[in-house]
Structure 1
Amino acid sequence: MRLAILAVGHKLPGWVADGCAEYLKRMPRELPLSVVEIKPEPRGSKTREQLLAAEKGRLDQALQGFARIVVLDERGADLTTLKLAQRLENWMQEGGDTAFIIGGADGIDEELKRRASDMIRLSSLTLPHAMARLVLCEQLYRAVSVVKNHPYHREG
């Protein structure tokens, strides 16, 4: 099974790329994680719907081959790390590659949200997209650590 974060956006600070790279290399060989940048649609005079539709087209191309889509959304399930680990373990048992989608500045197309297998949120706080990407990388690594009984995650 492979995991991928499909994130709309580009030109992120170096510390985000460095942080994500650190967690990507820590992932176990049997559960590789990648980050795929999806080019945001130039704003110009386009409506929000036009922007989201263009980004949806790019996301759809990147989603080919993924059996499971998990959308990050402010209205998604509020999971603890242990709950995320349980979901990850279930997905591993079910098989099939999993893609996590972080939308652009205008969000994610509604049709794509309806197609998602799951919707989760990282925080009740509004996070910058760069921070969301890094937090998701870390939390997926932490969830794998929980599943594998690795000492990285410690319950207080």
Structure 2
Amino acid sequence: MKIRIIMGSKINNRCLKDMVNEYAKRLSSVMEIEIIDFKSTGNDVKEYEKFIKLSEGFYRVALAVEGKQLDSESFAKWFEGKQNKNIAFLIGGAKGLSEILKKKCNELFSLSKLTFAHEHALLLLSEQIYRAYTIIQGHPYHK
């Protein structure tokens, strides 16, 4: 399984990047997690094309406030059901993801009704992917 997290904004916070990399490292023996961040151009068409190109061949999941919200156990069940797929999670920059891009995704998820900075969304998603794996494995991390 390969997870690709694509973010339409650069990661500037080194401490946050280290935390995200720690979750990827913990999972590296069972799955590949790749983080791709790029500077937002402000051009919806160019960003759309970049997200599509980078997620081609992947099961696309956009993070969007209007997406479905899952608790950790439900996310783990969803994740377990996708273990034979490569998944791309798309995180928008300051303007979010365009409506046309969201329509090209297989699913929309919301981390919360609250709005998070893109970097914080990345950290929360990374932790939830790790948590989902520990739930599936019956590891005590979740408790």
Q: Does 1:124 align with 2:116?
A: no
Moved beyond 4 Å, runs of 4+: none
What residue number does 1:47 align with?
Answer: none
Count of equivalent residues: 143
| Separation (CA, whole Å) in 1 of partners of 2:4 and 2:57 | 11
What residue number does 2:55 align with?
Answer: 63
For residues 91-148 of structure 1, the C-alpha deviation after alignment (integer angstroms, 9 at most, x for no partner) is 11xx221000001111112222112111111111111111111111111000111111
What residue number does 2:76 align with?
Answer: 85
| Separation (CA, whole Å) in 2 of partners of 1:120 and 1:11 | 21
Q: State the one-letter code of the partner of 2:93.
A: G
Cα distance, 1:28 vs. partner? 4.6
Q: Percent identity at matched positions?
A: 31
Q: State the one-letter code of the partner of 2:82.
A: W
Q: RMSD in angstroms over aligned alpha carbons?
A: 1.3
The answer on whether the counterparts of 1:52 and 1:106 sit within 8 Å (CA) in structure 2 is no
Whichever of the two has the greater Rg, that structure is 1
User: Could you tell which deviates more after superposition, 51-60 or 97-106?
Assistant: 51-60
Q: Does 1:16 align with 2:8?
A: no
Q: Which runs of 5+ in 1 are unaligned?
A: 44-50
The two structures have a TM-score, normalised by structure 1, of 0.86
Q: Which runs of 5+ in 2 are unaligned?
A: none
